[in-house]
Chains A and B, each alone.
Chain A
C-alpha cells in the first residue's frame, strides 16, 4: 500500500531523510517514532505530495507521489502535526468545504457529514464555529475531514499532540475504529505507548534513517531484556560507579550532575540484578536508591536503538 524506496530529502547541507526504505501493507497500522527533526514530518509531507524528495521514490497504492500526485491525493487523508481552521466556518461547513474540494456532490455530502461527525463524536457541535471548538474537538474534526473522501490511507502526523488524557483516549478509540474499517494508517505520535496495541509495525527514525523496524512484539521483547537503572548513593558516587562499571551486564553508565546519582542500562536477568544489588551492599556502598527508571516506551526505543539495527 505504501512503498518508500531510498527516499532522500536534503535542505542545502542538511539531510532530513537519508535513503529511507519502508514498506507498509494494506490494512496495517504503522507507528512512526522519532525525536523532533528526525524526519517523520518530512516523510509524511512527501507522501502527502506537499514536498518533493531530492531523490528516491514513494508510492501510495501503486501511484508514484512524484509522477501521479493527483491520484495519490485521492488515496490519502492527511492530518498535519499543526493545522489551522477558518474562523467564520461552522463544523459542518468546514466538512462541506473539504468535501466539495474532493468533488463530492452536495447531496452526498449531506448524508456523509452527519455520519463522520458521529464517528468522531462531534454530532452535537455540527452548528458550532470551528474556532470555538476545543483542541481535542478540532483534532477530531480534522480527522473527520481526512475521511470525507473515504481514502484508503490515513497519514496522521502527531494526531494526539497537545491533547489532554481524556481527549487522547477518545482519539485512540476513533483510531481503533478506523483500523477495524480496514484503513491503512501511518501514524506518528508521542503517545505511541498508548497506541502500541493498535500498531502492527513500528518504525524508529533517527537523523533521517530508519534505525529500527519490526512488530510491536519484536520490539517489546527486545525491551524486556534491558532496563534503565537509576542509582543514588549517600556521599560521593565515584566508588559506586567504579564498582558497577566492572559488571559485564552494565552498559552506558553515566553520572548525573548532582554527583550522588548515576544511571546505566542493565542487560542481565532479574536474578543477576538481585545478585548485583546484594554484592553492592556487601561492598559497603551507601546506596540510598536502586530503581528501574520510569520511562515511556518511546524514550526507551530511542535509547536502545542508538546505532542498533533491529532485524
Chain B
C-alpha cells in the first residue's frame, strides 16, 4: 500500500493533472451540467403539477433515477477520454521509453496510470454529491441506495478505465485507441441493451406456445449493460421481468459483478504483459 501511495507515476500524474487549469474547468462544467439538469427537472415537474408551482416528494425518487442514469452516461462518456490515452500519449510524447528503462515494474506503471486517470472521475462524482442533497431534501431515497449507486459508479469506472488503459497500451496512436475504447463502451452501454431488447422481443413474438416463453439469450447482453443494471437496482420489477423472459434466476447484478470483474482483471493483466516487449528467448 505504501508503494502505491508514494508511487512516482501516481505522484507525477496527480501533480500534472491538478496543475492544469483545464481540470478545474472540467469540474466546473460537470457540476454546472448536473446542476442545470436538477433545476430543470424540478422546474418542469413543478410546472406540470397543474401550474401550481410545487414539487411533489414522490417525484424526488424519479429525479434521483434520472440524475443517476445521466451521471452514469456522463461517466461512460468521460472515462474513455481520460483513460484511452494514458500510455499511448506517453508514447507519442516520447516519454514512455525513458519510463520503461527505469526499474519500475510494468504492473506499478499500469495500476498507477489507471488510478490516477480515474481519480479525476472520482473527484467529479464526489464533487457532485452535494447536488444529490436536493433528493434528500424531498425524500424518497435511502442513504443506502445512494451509497449503492456510488459503489456501482466506482466499480464501473474502474472496469471501463481498465479497458481504456488496455487499448492505450495495445494501440500506438491515441486517437485510434480513443475511437476503439469509445466503440467498445458504446457496445457495452448501448449495443448490449439493444441486443437484450431484440432477444426479448423475439421471444415474445415467436415463442408463444400458450405458456410463458423464455429465451436465455437476452440475459447475457443484459448482464453486461450498466444502464440496465443500474435501473434494476431502482426498479426490482425490471429484474423480475428479465428473469421471467430469460428463465435465468441468477441475479443480474451478480452476473454483472462477475463478468466485469473478469473483464477488469483480464484488461489489467494484458496491459501489464504488453507494456514492455516480451524479452524471453524463444
- B16 A101 Cβ-Cβ under 8 A: no
A67 is an interface residue with CB less than 8 A from chain B: yes
B6 is an interface residue with CB less than 8 A from chain A: yes
The 10 closest A-B pairs by CB, nearest first: A100-B8, A101-B102, A84-B94, A84-B93, A88-B19, A66-B279, A78-B101, A52-B277, A84-B95, A88-B16
Q: How large is the interface on A (under 10, 10 to 19, 20 to 34, 35 or more residues)?
A: 35 or more
- Expressed in whole angstroms, the Cα–Cα distance for A212 and B15 within the complex equals 48
- Expressed in whole angstroms, the Cα–Cα distance for A78 and B104 within the complex equals 15
Beyond known contacts A88-B16, A149-B103: 15 more, CB 8 A cutoff? A49-B101, A50-B100, A50-B101, A52-B277, A52-B279, A52-B280, A67-B281, A69-B276, A70-B105, A73-B102, A80-B98, A84-B95, A86-B16, A93-B12, A100-B6
- A74 B19 Cβ-Cβ under 8 A: no
B20 is an interface residue with CB less than 8 A from chain A: yes
- Expressed in whole angstroms, the Cα–Cα distance for A73 and B160 within the complex equals 32
Q: Which residue of B lies closest to A45 (CB)?
A: B97
Name the residue in A50, A78, A80 with the highest tally of chain B Cβ atoms < 10 Å from its Cβ: A50
Query: In chain A between 71 and 123, which residues have their CB closer than 8 angstroms to a CB of chain B?
Result: 73-74, 76, 78, 80, 82-89, 93, 96-98, 100-103
Chain A proximity mask over B18-50: 1 for CB below 8 Å, otherwise 0: 011000000000000000000000000000000
- B11 A100 Cβ-Cβ under 8 A: yes
B52 is an interface residue with CB less than 8 A from chain A: no
B99 is an interface residue with CB less than 8 A from chain A: yes
- B97 A50 Cβ-Cβ under 8 A: yes
B278 is an interface residue with CB less than 8 A from chain A: yes
- B281 A83 Cβ-Cβ under 8 A: no
Residues on B with beta carbons closer than 8 Å to the beta carbon of A50? 97, 100-101, 276-277
A-B CB pair tally, cutoff 8 Å: 85
- Checking A65, A89, A103 against B15 with a beta-carbon cut-off of 8 angstroms, the contacting residue is A89
- List 25 A–B pairs whose Cβ atoms lie within 8 Å, in order of A's numbering: A49-B276, A50-B97, A51-B277, A52-B277, A52-B279, A66-B281, A67-B280, A73-B103, A76-B101, A80-B94, A83-B95, A83-B98, A84-B93, A86-B93, A88-B15, A88-B16, A88-B19, A89-B15, A93-B15, A96-B8, A97-B11, A100-B8, A100-B11, A101-B103, A102-B102
A140 is an interface residue with CB less than 8 A from chain B: no
Residues on A with beta carbons closer than 8 Å to the beta carbon of B100? 49-50
Chain B proximity mask over A188-210: 1 for CB below 8 Å, otherwise 0: 00000000000000000000000
- B279 A69 Cβ-Cβ under 8 A: yes
Residues on B with beta carbons closer than 8 Å to the beta carbon of A74? 103
Residues on B with beta carbons closer than 8 Å to the beta carbon of A100? 6, 8, 11
Q: Which residue of A lies closest to B20 (CB)?
A: A88
- B99 A101 Cβ-Cβ under 8 A: yes
In the complex, how many angstroms separate the beta carbon of A253 from the nearest chain B beta carbon?
A: 44
- Checking B8, B9, B16, B98 against A145 with a beta-carbon cut-off of 8 angstroms, the contacting residue is B98
- B8 A97 Cβ-Cβ under 8 A: yes
Name the residue in B6, B20, B95, B98 with the highest tally of chain A Cβ atoms < 10 Å from its Cβ: B98
- Checking A66, A73, A101, A149 against B8 with a beta-carbon cut-off of 8 angstroms, the contacting residue is A101
Q: A83-B94, A88-B15, A88-B20 are in contact. Are A98 and B102 (CB under 8 A)?
A: yes
Residues on B with beta carbons closer than 8 Å to the beta carbon of A85? 95
- Expressed in whole angstroms, the Cα–Cα distance for A101 and B93 within the complex equals 18
- Expressed in whole angstroms, the Cα–Cα distance for A142 and B11 within the complex equals 20
Residues on A with beta carbons closer than 8 Å to the beta carbon of B93? 84, 86
Residues on B with beta carbons closer than 8 Å to the beta carbon of A80? 94, 97-98
- B16 A87 Cβ-Cβ under 8 A: yes
In the complex, how many angstroms separate the beta carbon of A240 from the nearest chain B beta carbon?
A: 50
Q: Which residue of A lies closest to B104 (CB)?
A: A101
- A48 B11 Cβ-Cβ under 8 A: no
Query: In chain B between 231 and 282, which residues have their CB closer than 8 angstroms to a CB of chain A?
Result: 276-281
- Expressed in whole angstroms, the Cα–Cα distance for A66 and B279 within the complex equals 5
- B103 A97 Cβ-Cβ under 8 A: no
- B101 A82 Cβ-Cβ under 8 A: no
- Expressed in whole angstroms, the Cα–Cα distance for A73 and B103 within the complex equals 6
Residues on B with beta carbons closer than 8 Å to the beta carbon of A76? 101
Name the residue in B99, B104, B278 with the highest tally of chain A Cβ atoms < 10 Å from its Cβ: B104
In the complex, how many angstroms separate the beta carbon of B167 from the nearest chain A beta carbon?
A: 21
In the complex, how many angstroms separate the beta carbon of A161 from the nearest chain B beta carbon?
A: 13
- Expressed in whole angstroms, the Cα–Cα distance for A83 and B281 within the complex equals 28
- A97 B12 Cβ-Cβ under 8 A: yes
- Expressed in whole angstroms, the Cα–Cα distance for A88 and B105 within the complex equals 24
Q: Which residue of B lies closest to A74 (CB)?
A: B103
Query: In chain A between 162 and 211, which residues have their CB closer than 8 angstroms to a CB of chain B?
Result: none
Q: Which residue of B lies closest to A99 (CB)?
A: B8
- Checking A45, A86, A103 against B12 with a beta-carbon cut-off of 8 angstroms, the contacting residue is A86
- A89 B12 Cβ-Cβ under 8 A: yes
Q: Which residue of B lies closest to A81 (CB)?
A: B94
In the complex, how many angstroms separate the beta carbon of B145 from the nearest chain A beta carbon?
A: 39
In the complex, how many angstroms separate the beta carbon of B244 from the nearest chain A beta carbon?
A: 54
In the complex, how many angstroms separate the beta carbon of B116 from the nearest chain A beta carbon?
A: 13
Q: Which residue of A lies closest to B6 (CB)?
A: A100
